[in-house]
Amino acid sequence: MPDEYKVEGDPIEAYRRFYLGDKAAFAKWTKRQPPAWYLSSAYTSAE
């Protein structure tokens, strides 16, 4: 994971930032909805 996404003491937030920043182009969820944190962050980032 690139340092720009790392959050000291919060690996979950770091993972979320990494997914939104570098992995969003190919992120897909099959047989389930994307997680709420992904949807709310994706819409916020697009504005």
Write down the pLDDT at residue 47: 45
Range of the domain at 39: 3-46
Give the separation between CA 47 and CA 40, rounded to whole angstroms.
Answer: 11
- The per-residue pLDDT for range 1-10, each reduced to its tens digit, is 999 999 999 9
- The per-residue pLDDT for range 8-47, each reduced to its tens digit, is 999 999 999 998 888 878 888 899 998 888 888 765 554 4
Write down the pLDDT at residue 45: 53
Residue 43 DSSP one-character state:
H
- E-strand spans in the chain? none
> What φ, ψ does residue 40 adopt, rounded to 5°?
-65, -40
pTM greater than 0.75: no
Give the separation between CA 26 and CA 22, rounded to whole angstroms.
Answer: 9
Number of domains composing the chain: 1
